[in-house]
Amino acid sequence: MLLAIGLIALGFAAGVLVTGLAACFIFGLLHAEAVRAVESHGGVNLFSYGFANSPPGTVKPGSWQVRS
pLDDT given for residue 35 in this prediction: 84
Give the residue extent of every domain in the chain. Answer: 2-53
Coil, strand or helix: which one is 1? Answer: coil
Spatial neighbors of 66 by CB under 8 A, at least 6 apart, are: 59
User: How confident is the model over 6-39, as pLDDT tens digits?
Assistant: 999 999 999 999 999 999 999 999 999 988 887 7
**DSSP classification of residue 61:** T
pLDDT given for residue 36 in this prediction: 86
pLDDT given for residue 19 in this prediction: 98
pLDDT given for residue 59 in this prediction: 62
